[in-house]
Amino acid sequence: MIEALAKALLDILSTPAFTISLVALVGLIALRKKAYEVITGFLRTFIALLIVVAGAITIVNALSPLNGLFVRAFGFRGVYTLEEVTTASAMAAGLGFEIGAIFGLGFILHLILVRLLAARTPFKHIYLTGHVMWTMAGAIALVLFNYGLRGMSAATLGAVLLAIYLTVAPAMVWPFVRKITDGQWNIGHTQDFGLMVFGGLIPRLINKVTGGKAAKMEAEGLKFPEELAFLKQPGIISGLIMLFVFLIPTLYLGPGVIEKEFSGGTNYIVWAIIQALTFAAGIEVLLFGVRTFLGEIIPAFKGISERVIPGAIPALDVPTVYPLRPIALMLGVIVHVIVVPFSTILQAGMGLPMVILPNAIYMFFVGATTGILADKEGGIPGVIVGSILSAFWYMFLPIWAYPFLGLEKLGLTGLSMSADCGIWAIIYGLILRPFFGR
């Protein structure tokens, strides 16, 4: 019975739609809303998040062949750095208990820390991005495994490390995000460290060096001729960009390879168009879900911040800021789409011991969020410089993080964590090394 309840609790905590909808439920109850309003708010939040997930899945599925296309067309060989894949593989390889326990216990400890700190310190953000908590729990479990820690010792120490991360990381990026969201919500994502540096500090420095001129050149301020006004629609411009990205390797490989290995017999040009526009459809679905979700969670969270954890601010997934600056979003994506494949070629040419494969998912999601924050701090110059440096960061830092993760000891060659989790793997690894290093 206890095991069944524990599993149910873990399943709830590991399902973002469930976790955040319960937060909305608690907030509405704290606001003393009527029963039907509480139930309606819970259900609308749950449904909105499922719409967001559906959009994200559509985007990921549309992009999934892209890595294989680049490998097949240009001979990129190396390490794949998608956290979800690496965490799931680590669980299957024997770290299932550690990752699950770190995730569940760490989140509970995080809530306790925020309750104690919110009223008097900058650490007032409740981290509500469930799948990212899970992947960070995976990174921490791998670091601890690398230093020989398993079982309850790993679960206990790992929960403390995760709670520290969940409490500290959103505060790092808050000075920049609050300008975008008018202080209503923060970003709770493993991108926080990179966003602080490349979306905030560096664009702010560029603006200072230019005497404040850079910030006045905001991408959102671009005036489009009437004939080009359609480019301000996220679905349209993202579809056009991804069409270009898909067509390059597709045309290079030709119909023989594409129709045999990728499209299942569908004409190679038609297949590339479908993939690109499926991506665009996913963007539109995701943004609709985000708008609906924000309309529910922000009012409901007032109950949390007023009665349960005074002063608390929700830290949400990165797509919640995407509707706010669509032009800056796509400018950041374009820069990442250019720089990321170039970085792989550069690594191969340098003869590095490992080469990080281009990851189309990061190209979009990291480029989008970096562009949005950088535009507010440093305008178009900030977006371009910040995004270039961000792309290089995402392609090179995983090489430095790899030795801290112990992946080869689990037999997980060819996989790693991106810069998102990688920087924390390095930080925690360096802290633990004097005590557990061999």
* Beta partners for residue 314, in sequence order: 126
The number of CA neighbours under 13 Å toward the Cβ of 55 is: 22
Q: How many CB atoms lie within 10 A of CB 157?
A: 19
**Burial class of residue 256, CB neighbours in 10 A (0-12, 13-18, 19+):** exposed
Q: How many CB atoms lie within 10 A of CB 338?
A: 16
Give the count of domains, the chain. Answer: 1
Please tell me which residue, 144 or 363, carries the higher pLDDT value.
144
Where residue 228 falls (left for φ over 0; alpha for ψ -120 to 50; beta otherwise) is alpha
How far from each other are the two terminal CA atoms of the chain, in whole angstroms?
A: 41
Average pLDDT (342-359) is: 83
Tokens of 262: 């990728």
* CA neighbor of 414 nearest in space, from 86, 135, 66, 78: 78
Per-residue pLDDT of 399-422, as tens digits, reads: 999 999 988 888 877 778 888 899
| Average pLDDT, rounded, for the chain | 86
Query: Any idea which residue has 């990728």 for tokens?
Result: 262
Per-residue pLDDT of 185-231, as tens digits, reads: 999 999 999 999 999 999 999 999 999 999 999 988 777 666 655 65
Res 95 pLDDT > 80 = yes
Per-residue pLDDT of 115-163, as tens digits, reads: 999 888 999 999 988 778 888 999 999 999 999 999 889 999 999 999 9
Global confidence as pTM: 0.82
* CA neighbor of 357 nearest in space, from 339, 342, 338, 344: 344
Give the distance, in angstroms, between the CA of residue 286 and the centroid of all CA atoms in the same chain. Answer: 14
| Structural domain that includes position 212 | 2-436
Per-residue pLDDT of 245-299, as tens digits, reads: 788 889 999 999 999 989 989 999 999 999 989 988 887 887 788 778 777 877 8
Res 343 pLDDT > 80 = yes
- Long-range CB contacts for residues 39-42, cutoff 8 Å, separation at least 24: 41/296, 41/300
Rounded to whole angstroms, the Cα distance separating 69 from 74 reads 8
* CA neighbor of 317 nearest in space, from 177, 415, 116: 177
* Beta partners for residue 186, in sequence order: 315
So what's the pLDDT on residue 438? 58
Q: Kindly write down the DSSP assignment for every residue of 236-300, as one continuous string.
A: HHHHHHHHHHHHHHHHHHHHHHHHHHTSTTS-HHHHHHHHHHHHHHHHHHHHHHHHHHHHHHHHH
Sign of CA dihedral 64, 139, 294, 49: positive
Res 16 pLDDT > 70 = no
DSSP SS3 for 157: helix
